[in-house]
Amino acid sequence: MGNYAIAIHGGAGALMTGTVPAEKQKAYNDKLSEALQAGYNLLSHEGSAIDAVEAAVRVLEDSPLFNAGKGSVFNCDGVNEMDSAIMNGKTLKAGAMASVHIIRNPISGARAVMEKSKHVLLTSAGAEQFAKECGLEIVDPSYFYDEERHAQWVATKNNDVDYSWSGDGIPDGTKKFGTVGAVALDNHGNIAAATSTGGVNNKKFGRVGDSPIIGAGTYANNKTCAVSCTGEGEYFIRNVVAYDISALMEYKGMNLAQATAEVMKKVALLGGEGGLISIDAQGNISAPFNTSSMFRGWINTAGEKYTGIFH
């Protein structure tokens, strides 16, 4: 096979083995497989890592199974509010959007920021105006509505609890951090990372997590690795997780597995939960998580495909 590979995630959480019906597990794995194939098909035809991660994430954004794009969770005002980021490991160019409500595929909005503006992060109405000027697909906010997500919000919107630890706010109390992401290596030796999320169920005060923060939830550098994170974003921001992995590789000579393990240990020591996917310039893949589950999958340089939910 070629020297290219891709890995994706659909969020980490506290789902336990035996709690997800077989047909639902199949639906998750089928969609992960579809997203992987969308990115891998581009890579196998000399496509770029940037094209691959955007394509994979768009598949996940278009599925109500994951907390990104269609099917994003609701904030405290009952609105879907999304964040995204993308980064090119060859050029270190990056783009991100936060608190957007009408862009069908926020990840494509992030790419537009990277390629068609002088900026890195655009937010809210300004980001949406930019997306319109770039000709991205704009939809009515009702497009993002999902009945199951709405029921989760209704069940938790009056809870007098710290919203940031309520995950998806699933009524039975199960935590699930539904961010989606992709990392890829292409035939030209370039790597890229992309992340997209609906954030935290019932989030207040315009909260923004780690996903659109370059170096926290998303990072790519051809010298080292590409990383996309999922979990309790505040901890990933405070630990500058994605960049820290790259720095450990560049400055301390750690390999990918060592660096990801070290950084996830730091997250856990502060009390944070979550996981990440990563790939290095040789196509090695690492996907550690300290929760009981993480939707994830990859196709490695040998062309071998894997998808899974539990440890």
Note the pLDDT tens digit of each residue in 265-292: 999 999 999 999 999 999 999 999 999 9
Contact 284, 267 (CB under 8 A): no
Q: Is 179 a catalytic residue?
A: yes
Contact 6, 44 (CB under 8 A): no
CA dihedral 304, 56, 65, 205 (to 10 degrees): 130
Average pLDDT over residues 173-178: 58
CA nearest to 105, candidates 75, 74, 128: 128
pLDDT of residue 16: 80
- The one-letter code for the residue type at 28 is Y
pLDDT of residue 173: 41
Q: Which whole-number Å values give the CA distances from 119 to 92, 93, 129, 169, 170, in the listed order?
A: 13, 10, 14, 34, 36
| Long-range residue pairs from 151-160, CB within 8 A, at least 24 positions apart, any chain | 152/73, 152/74, 152/201, 153/73, 153/74, 153/78, 153/201, 153/202, 156/201, 156/202, 157/74, 157/76, 157/78, 157/202, 159/202
CA dihedral 122, 111, 66, 28 (to 10 degrees): -170
Helical H runs in the chain?
22-44, 49-61, 106-116, 124-133, 147-156, 233-238, 241-252, 256-269
DSSP letters spanning 14-33: ---TTSS-HHHHHHHHHHHH
Cα–Cα distance, 171 to 48 (Å, whole number): 41
Q: Which whole-number Å values give the CA distances from 30 to 33, 43, 200, in the listed order?
A: 5, 20, 25
pLDDT of residue 1: 56
* The listed CATH number (3.30.1860.10, 3.10.20.30, 3.60.20.30, 3.40.718.10) that belongs to domain 5-310: 3.60.20.30
Helix, strand counts (H, E) of the chain: 8, 13
Model-level pTM? 0.95
Contact 68, 27 (CB under 8 A): no
Of residues 197 and 2, more confidence is placed in 197
Side-chain-side CA neighbours of residue 114 (13 Å): 25
Note the pLDDT tens digit of each residue in 65-121: 999 999 999 999 999 999 999 999 999 999 999 999 999 999 999 999 999 999 999
CA nearest to 301, candidates 198, 134, 187: 187
pLDDT of residue 69: 98
Is the pLDDT score of 165 beyond 80? Answer: no
Cα–Cα distance, 286 to 277 (Å, whole number): 6
CA nearest to 202, candidates 159, 244, 258, 234: 159
- The one-letter code for the residue type at 71 is G
Note the pLDDT tens digit of each residue in 2-33: 799 999 999 998 788 778 899 999 999 999 99
Q: Which whole-number Å values give the CA distances from 126 to 36, 100, 102, in the listed order?
A: 32, 9, 12
Is the pLDDT score of 126 beyond 80? Answer: yes
**Per-residue pLDDT band at 183 (split at 50, 70, 90):** very high
Pairing of strands 176-177, 121-123: unpaired
The active-site residue, picked from 179, 195, 218, 260, is 179
